[in-house]
Structure 1
Amino acid sequence: MSSADKNLSVFSTKEIPDVSNKNFAIVVAEWNSEITEALFEGAYKTLIEYGAKAENITRVDVPGSYELSFGAQKMAQKAQVDAIICLGCVIQGETKHNDYINHAVAQGLTNVSLKYDKPVIFGVLTPNDQQQAIDRAGGIHGNKGDEAAFTAIKMLGIN
Structure 2
Amino acid sequence: MIKNEKIKASEVRLTGLDGEDLGIMPTLEALALARKYKVDLVCESLMSSPPPCRLVGAGKAREERDQAKKKAGPAKSKELRFTPEIEEHDYDTKKRQAEKWLQAGHSVLLTVKISGKQGEQAKALLQQLQADLKTAGRPRTGIQLSGRQAQVELESLT
Under a length normalisation based on structure 1, what TM-score does the superposition of the two structures give?
0.34
User: Which structure dedicates a bigger proportion of its chain to strand?
Assistant: 2
Of structures 1 and 2, the one scoring higher in RCO (CA 8 A, sep 6+) is 1
User: Which structure dedicates a bigger proportion of its chain to helix?
Assistant: 1
Which structure has the bigger radius of gyration?
2
